Amino acid sequence: MSTITIAQNSAQPLTVNRLGYGTMRLTGPEIWGEPADRPQALAILRKAVESGVNFLDTADYYGEDVTNRLIAEALHPYPADLVICTKVGATRKPDKSWVAFNTPENLRTSIDNNLRTLRREQIQLVHLRLMGHGAVPLDEQLGAMFEMQKEGKILHVGLSNVNREELEAGLKLGEIATVENMYGYAQRTSLSAPYGETRGGEEVLPLCEQHGIPLIPFFSLVHGLPNAGNKLAEIARKHHATEAQLNIAWLLHKSPWILPIPGTSSLAHFEENMKAADIKLSAEDMAYLG
């Protein structure tokens, strides 16, 4: 399994194996409430670490607080090399809607909550998720994040759901360690939704590569596979793999700066996803897939 380094030019870079695990699917329906099969959710987290996964993606608004509590229950005290990445900038209402929670006070509340539920004294990596063009300017949001970084509550700051202009603005304000955007074989660019725009990875990947910033793709399977077309299925058959595995393999081959975090609530699917790291796509395969 190859590796990728987060914040490579900082005093405390983090090198992780280049298949992480996104915990969002461990929650109940609509990313809310407890998992349908709690023992299996805990087993997946433990199996992930046993399999060499040392990068977990979570958020206190998954559930709410469900994935954080599952991680702590399954894995605390944590292995020394485990990196737990969380997100702030959003929250959930009782109707399960997603809303901005991004004033400096909101962000501090979220960080303190993540520290408490994850049982950590410092969060190694925190993504500030941008929730559309709200009333809180980016410099105020990032300013609060960098202030908490100085206090030692956060080791590294990243951005999530950003377009190129927002990433460029963020880079002028301070060190951006990572970017987390939607990206997959068949869904590479931004999507409009009733709750706001979901930003794609294609628009920011060149800038990430230029600055040595890992791009962490989310929703790569959910949005990508239904529209993948025949080419992905054809190359999957060639490699005796599933289309989901080929999507992960494509991300791994697309750029050395991509850190996939496929998520699932099924232990069998988790093990299947991990095998994608063994698929070797040729230059001809990648050219054909486009």
Looking at the annotation, which residues are catalytic? 62
Q: Is the peptide bond before 104 cis (omega within 30 degrees of 0)?
A: no
Rounded Cα–Cα distance for residues 203 and 1 (Å): 27
Write out the two tokens for 227.
Answer: 């529209």
The CA distance from 100 to 195, in Å, is 10
- Give, rounded to a whole angstrom, the gap between the first and last alpha carbons of the chain: 24
> Rounded to 5 degrees, what angle do the CA atoms 129, 135, 138 make?
45
Residues in the chain: 290
Residue with the two structure tokens 């990206």? 183
Other CB atoms within 10 A of residue 253 CB = 17
Cβ–Cβ under 8 Å, residues 86 and 60: yes
Residue with tokens 């054909």: 288
**Residue among 167, 155, 241 at smallest CA distance from 211:** 167
Distance of alpha carbon 82 from alpha carbon 49, whole angstroms: 8
| Buried/exposed code over 13-30 (b: 16+ C-beta within 10 A; e: otherwise) | ebebbbbbbbbbbbbeee
H helical segments located in the chain:
38-50, 66-75, 104-118, 138-151, 164-173, 205-211, 229-238, 243-254, 267-274, 283-289
